[in-house]
Amino acid sequence: METEVKEKIVSIEKPHLEAPADWQPVIMGILCNWCSYAGSDLTGTSRLQYPPNIRIIRVPCSSRVDPWFIIKSLQASADGVLISGCHPGDCHYISGNYYARRRFLVTKKLLNFVGFHENRVQFSWVSAAEGPKFAKVVSKVTEDIKKLGPLHLYKKENI
């Protein structure tokens, strides 16, 4: 891939600064294939409506989610991150979500410790049958992020 990497620090503004009037947040959603991605498909099949700010990435299992993806998302265009997997006990791969859950807690607390609002990164368990829950979760996360405003911390932009 021939990507010219030019970088600049976009801004060192504080997140509580007022957002432009037409600002819409970008939310990075990372969903496990077997439960949450299937659940989000069901949301679609059921024509349940939710805010259009989420951008969904499919991974096989929540245990595939390296905390590093969260950090990268926050550095890139995301104003918030939602990660969703199978309910405890339902993991398609037996134990993946249990390992992931530990990493998620520590990552969330660490990000909060260094200055990110706790609502910037959120987690959910959504099963393949929980289409309505997925719509609800996305609506809540979007609303939370809208309240917080654009994320300016440690941003990078590639051109």
Partner 1 sequence: MDYTKQIQDIAGRLFSENKIDVFIGYRNTGFDENQVPVLINQYKDVDQLLFTDKSVFNLANYLKYEHTRNKRVGLVVKGCDSRALNLMLTEKQVKRENLYVVGIACKGVVDETGEMAQNCIECVMPDAVIFDEMLGTPSGRREYQENADVRELDGKTLTERQEYFEEVFESCIRCNACRHSCPLCYCAKCCIDQETATLFQGANTTSSAFHALMTWSLHLAGRCVDCRNCEKACPSHLPLHLLHKQNEKVIYGNFQEHLAGMIEEDRGAFYKYSLSDPDDFIM
Partner 2 sequence: MARVGVFVCFCGANIADFVDVPAVVEEAKKIKEVKYAIDYKYMCSDPGQGMIRDAIVAHRLTSIVVAACSPRMHEKTFRKALSDAGMNPYLLEVANIREHSSWVHQKDKKAATEKSSDLIRMAVAKSIANEQLHEISVPVTKRALVIGGGIAGIQAALDIADARIPVVLVEKSPSIGGKMAQLDETFPTLDCSQCILTPKMVDVASHPYIELLPYSEVLELDGYVGNYKVKIKRKASYVNFDTCTGCGACWQKCPVKVPNEFNMGIDKRKAIYSPFPQAVPNKPVIDAEHCTMLLKGKCGICAKVCEKGSIDYAMQDEIIEREIGAVVVATGYDLWDPKPYEEYGVGRYKDIITSLEFERMVSASGPTGGVPLRPSDGKIPKSVVFIKCVGSRDEAKGIEYCSKICCMYTAKHAILLHHKVHDSHAYIFYMDIRAAGKGYEEFVKRAQVETGATYLRGRVSKIYQKGEKLMVRGEDAQIGQVVEVEADLVVLATAVYPYKDNPELARLLGISYDKYGFLSEAHPKLRPVETAKAGIFLAGCTQAPKDIPETVAQASATAAKVCGLFSGDTILKDPMISKVNTDYCSGCQNCVTVCPYQAIVTEEIPLGHGSKEIRTVAKINEGVCQGCGSCVAICRSMAIDLAGFTDMQIINEIVSI
Interface with partner 2 includes 95 (CB under 8 A)?
A: yes
Smallest distance from the beta carbon of 126 to partner 1, in angstroms? 8
Site string for partner 2, 21-60 (x = CB under 8 A): ---x-x-x----x---xx-xx-xxx-xxxx-x--xxxxxx
Helix axes 67-75, 96-113, angle to 10 degrees: 40
Specify burial of residue 139 (Cβ count, 10 A radius: 0-12, 13-18, 19+). Answer: middle
105 contact partners, CB below 8 Å, separation of at least 6: none
Site string for partner 2, 120-149 (x = CB under 8 A): ---------------x--------------
Contact assessment for residue 111 and residue 68, using Cβ atoms and an 8 Å cutoff? no
CB atoms within 10 A of CB 37: 23
Interface with partner 2 includes 63 (CB under 8 A)?
A: yes
For the chain, list the strands marked E by DSSP.
27-32, 54-59, 80-85, 121-125
Smallest distance from the beta carbon of 22 to partner 1, in angstroms? 25
By beta-carbon proximity to partner 1, the closer residue of 23 and 98 is 98
**Binding site residues, partner 1, CB under 8 A:** 3, 5, 7, 9, 12, 14-16, 67-68, 71-72, 75-76, 88, 95, 98-99, 101-117, 122-125, 137, 140, 153-156, 158
Smallest distance from the beta carbon of 150 to partner 2, in angstroms? 15
Cα(79)–Cα(157) distance, rounded to whole angstroms?
13
